[in-house]
Amino acid sequence: MICVEFQSPADGVAREEALFAAGKPALLLWRSVERGIVVPRSRGRRPGFVGLSMAAARAGWPLMLRSSGGGAVPQGPGTINLAIITPMPVGARVEDGYRLICGAISEALMRFEVATETGSVDAAFCDGAWNVTVGQRKLAGTAQRWRPIGNGQSIALIHAAIVAAHPPASVWPVLSQVEAQAGGITPPRREVHVALDELLPAAMAPQALQGALMRAAEDRLHHLPRRSLEGAAAA
């Protein structure tokens, strides 16, 4: 199976963190059996988070923390996660990491004649300038985390959460509560998102897109400067 299946979203996040800590180039494509909402770790320190977490769990959407990302992201069987762990060349910028993962998703979807763009989408969950969009609707969100590994280089965990199928309607009130607790003004709305199952033929095997995503990500890793890969191997 190309896409690794974890029981809980927290298990997938933990695997990403372990690969990032190991400091070696790696790719991980995963989804979870159970549903949940992943939020930045900093939100766990906000007043009222414990009560919010209890209410979300009662609604069927337990909250889980991760070290990267700027907003709340629903996880479950309908979300495909692509994680790229890679050394970044000396002088690389955060924008280069976003271009790497957004470019991989774009290349994979172009094989199925689906054209993508990047940009912010009003009322999207975890909105940002580096959303992957189709027809001005959000298909995927991206985030990253870097740490230095010496000689002016950094290792990066670059992540994308791709909407494969729309989450159940029960998630939207919970997302609204989560974002309101963090000071958000605009509640996330379903209609500003698009899912892979709306864009790809119903008869297409899931492994076809999964394989295309992995190949596109591998291509980008291979095109990084060789000294970056050697630096990561020595870390």
Q: Residue ranges of the domains in the chain?
A: 4-234
pLDDT value of position 235: 35
Query: Across residues 94-101, what is the average pLDDT?
Result: 96
CA atoms within 13 A on the CB side of 106: 17
Rounded CA separation 163/168 (Å): 12
Query: Across residues 181-192, what is the average pLDDT?
Result: 90
Query: Across residues 161-189, what is the average pLDDT?
Result: 94
pTM: 0.93
CATH fold of the domain at 4-234: BirA Bifunctional Protein; domain 2 (3.30.930)
Residue with tokens 């992540």: 159
Strand-pair partners of 27: 84
pLDDT at 179 > cutoff 60: yes
Query: Across residues 140-158, what is the average pLDDT?
Result: 93
Query: Across residues 129-141, what is the average pLDDT?
Result: 98
Average confidence score pLDDT of the chain: 92
Query: Across residues 150-169, what is the average pLDDT?
Result: 95
Average the pLDDT over each of 56-70, 74-88, 114-128 and give the range with the smallest value: 56-70
pLDDT at 228 > cutoff 60: no
pLDDT value of position 225: 59
* Residue environment code for 82-106, b if the CB has 16+ CB neighbours within 10 A, otherwise e: bbbbbbbeeebeeeebbbbbbbbbb
pLDDT band at 189 (very low <50, low <70, confident <90, very high): very high
Query: Across residues 98-124, what is the average pLDDT?
Result: 97
Average the pLDDT over each of 34-38, 68-72, 85-89, 122-126 and give the range with the smallest value: 68-72
Considering the chain, what percentage of its residues have pLDDT values greater than 90?
A: 80
SS3 content of the chain, % helix, strand, coil (to 5): 40, 25, 35
pLDDT band at 222 (very low <50, low <70, confident <90, very high): confident
Measured CA to CA in angstroms, residue 217 lies from 39, 86, 97, 222 at distances of: 25, 11, 12, 9
Helix then strand count (H, E) for the chain reads 7, 10
Checking DSSP bridges between strand 79-88 and strand 153-163, what pairing results, if any? Answer: antiparallel
pLDDT at 195 > cutoff 90: yes
